[in-house]
Amino acid sequence: MPENTAPALRPRTAAGVHPGKPGSQSALRQRNQQRILSALATGGPQTQAELSRQTGLSSATVSNIVREMNGNRLVITEPTTSSGRRALSVRLNDTGAVAVGIDIGRRHVRVVLASLGYRILEEEAVPLPLGHCAEEGMDAAADLLAKLLGQAGVDRAAVLGAGVGIPGPIDRRTGTVVHGAILPEWVGINIREALAERLGTPVHVDNDANLGALAQVTWGPHRGTDNLVFVKVASGIGAGLVINGALFYGHLGITGEIGHATVSEHGVVCRCGNRGCLETVASTSVMIELLSRGAGEPIQTADIVDRAAARDPATLRIIDDAGLAVGRAAANVANTLNPEIIVLGGSLTGLGDTFLAPVRRGFIRHCVPLVGESTQVLMSSLGDRAEALGAAALVLGRHGALLG
């Protein structure tokens, strides 16, 4: 692991500041800090020498990062002895501050409170009415956060910041939701500013699939994976990309828009303005529409899972068709980026193999053989919590970035 030699201290107070570029010194430092934090979170208090062994980082790097984290009250250090020598014991200052993760969907808002030690202190989701306006959604998030802070006994001043996941592309130049989002009522609104005012803390807005990807490499079983693609299938379909260990945003932040790959040249018109996009054949909205035809009242996403469990033939066929299409889109991404892992998330994770199997079939069918053989395609183990967890991780990571 290369040494980190260029600490660039930046003020913590700069809300909305961009994190260090992936691959930059500060990104490297942030990853090293996260490794140490993770080691402390999983292994408990330990000496610097032990941290060095556990993380593979040099003792100088561990010492530098621990000193800085101590200064920022992220850890507490105490003199101790190890093998008869003087040593420094390091433990998390777990109650020092919290990060907030918020996931706003078409029909729900979920809020999590996470400690610096990546421990979930509180977590709750509440339903939102379909077609809610942005103000309604933001108010609901603010109310839920106030409730959770009260339950956890955490003062608002201890909130480091809030990450917010939105199911739509975010133009990073303006921090606004771009046309074509799943939440048309939110388009053009500067969520960062509007929510920061309501929550009284710096807000970082990101696409929900990006946060799902971040959750996989932070909270999930794929911690430390360099290249991972998170494919979210819900009312919309999008991917979050972890590249070289960091979320990748491209030029404007409009990455992973695989829901708008054309799969049917003369298909139905998509909300993005094109025709026959993947979303027009494989989103849960389309599945619901197809399965609701002729029924008395529209079914819900949860009904898809229930009907599949009851082996309803039409439901199984529609899941199979959607899975094959998603697998083909995932294959195109894999042929381009050759990631180690593709994780499938969204509102159909409850389907398990019923959905994963056709995705894998479509994937293998359309991959360059070596890529198909060597890429793991898995179902997210974080279920519908991934986006909110990723939102909290965004804050914890940025906190690291701001310190480093």
Q: Which residues contact 250 (CB under 8 A, 6 or more apart)?
A: none
User: Which C-beta is closer to its own copies: that of 222 or that of 307?
Assistant: 222
Cα end-to-end span (Å), the chain: 17
State the residue for tokens 């014991």: 89
Residue 222 corresponds to which tokens in the numbers above? 């794929």
Residue 132 corresponds to which tokens in the numbers above? 């809610």
| Nearest distance in Å: CB 216, its own copies | 15
Residue 67 corresponds to which tokens in the numbers above? 């000193």
Yes or no: say if 213 and 243 are a contact pair by the CB < 8 Å rule. Answer: no
User: Which C-beta is closer to its own copies: that of 80 or that of 262?
Assistant: 262
Among residues 4, 12, 7, 19, which one has the least CA distance to residue 393?
Answer: 19
Kind and range of the H or E run holding 101:
strand 98-104
Sequence letter at residue 75: V
Q: Give the max Cα distance, the chain.
A: 78
User: Which C-beta is closer to its own copies: that of 219 or that of 249?
Assistant: 249
User: Which C-beta is closer to its own copies: that of 265 or that of 297?
Assistant: 265
Torsion angle in degrees (nearest 10) through CA of 208, 184, 234, 372:
-70
Residue 401 corresponds to which tokens in the numbers above? 């970035």
User: Which C-beta is closer to its own copies: that of 81 or that of 336?
Assistant: 336
User: Which C-beta is closer to its own copies: that of 94 or that of 257?
Assistant: 257
| Nearest distance in Å: CB 1, its own copies | 5
| Nearest distance in Å: CB 334, its own copies | 9
Q: Cα-flanking dihedrals φ and ψ of residue 235, to 5°?
A: -60, -30
Distance, CA of 322 to chain centre:
23
User: Which C-beta is closer to its own copies: that of 226 or that of 306?
Assistant: 226
| Nearest distance in Å: CB 203, its own copies | 22
Q: CA-to-CA distance for 230 and 210, rounded, in angstroms?
A: 8
User: Which C-beta is closer to its own copies: that of 75 or that of 402?
Assistant: 402
E strands present in 22-84 = 46-47, 75-82
Among residues 283, 282, 280, 301, which one has the least CA distance to residue 292?
Answer: 301
SS3 168: coil
SS3 379: strand
User: Which C-beta is closer to its own copies: that of 113 or that of 334?
Assistant: 334
| Nearest distance in Å: CB 74, its own copies | 23
| Nearest distance in Å: CB 260, its own copies | 5
| Nearest distance in Å: CB 200, its own copies | 31
| Nearest distance in Å: CB 274, its own copies | 7
Q: CA-to-CA distance for 228 and 215, rounded, in angstroms?
A: 11
Which residues of the chain form contacts with its own copies (CB under 8 A)? 1-3, 21-23, 58, 169, 171, 178-180, 226-227, 239, 241, 243-246, 248-258, 260-262, 272-274, 328, 332-333, 335-340, 365-366, 368-371, 374-375
